[in-house]
Amino acid sequence: MTELTPVGMAVLALLNERPMHAYEMFQLLMSREEDRLIKVRLGTVYHTVERLAGQQLVEATGTERAGNRPERTTYAITAAGDAALRRRISDAIETPAYEYPLFPVALSEAHNLPAGETVRVLNRRLELLRKQVDDIEATIERVRTEDVDEAYWFVADYLRTQAVAERDWLQTIVNRIESKDLPWPYRSKKS
């Protein structure tokens, strides 16, 4: 059996709540803002459900049709799916794994840009990070007022903490480049 992808984990977790069809899963993932954690696409959800069914981690429990809409198959998690989900969650939490994000690579090569351009793009990222922090804080406030159990949303606090740390660190880097405390080695390449 292949390792569960993040979308596979999300699908199994939803089916652990109750049986549902793929489109409902997609809608629920989006309404819960899970797209902050995983790349959520409708086609990916359908493909993931098919793959999990092939691995016998989910099973079709029925089909329904509402009005002129296409027929939809409802799925439920199997005992093997539940075990796979629990195992994958435990492994992912327990064992740190470097995920090779693009941003650190771009930062490590930022010296290939002039200092002014580097400051400009970092300031743009800082604007977006500030908005991201505000959005996450609004989400946290909303779920608190809705009395959603914290176990369902505490990851939002993790995401906020990460964004705040990145924002603060980047602001320091921008300040250092602008004050020339961080010398910038960019050299113009002559044609």
Where does residue 29 rank: exposed (0-12), middle (13-18), buried (19+ CB within 10 A)? buried
Name the pLDDT band for 191 (thresholds 50, 70, 90).
Answer: very low
Of 65, 20, 85, nearest to 46 by C-alpha is 20
Mean pLDDT score, 21-43: 94
What is each CA distance from 10 to 68, 69, 79, 119, 161, in whole angstroms? 29, 25, 16, 37, 22
What is each CA distance from 188 to 100, 118, 121, 176, in whole angstroms? 29, 14, 18, 21
Mean pLDDT score, 27-35: 93
What pTM was computed for the model?
0.83
Mean pLDDT score, 2-9: 92
Name the pLDDT band for 5 (thresholds 50, 70, 90).
Answer: very high
Name the pLDDT band for 120 (thresholds 50, 70, 90).
Answer: very high
Residue of 45 and 99 predicted with greater confidence: 45
Name the pLDDT band for 7 (thresholds 50, 70, 90).
Answer: very high
Query: Which residues is 72 bridged to in the sheet?
Result: 64
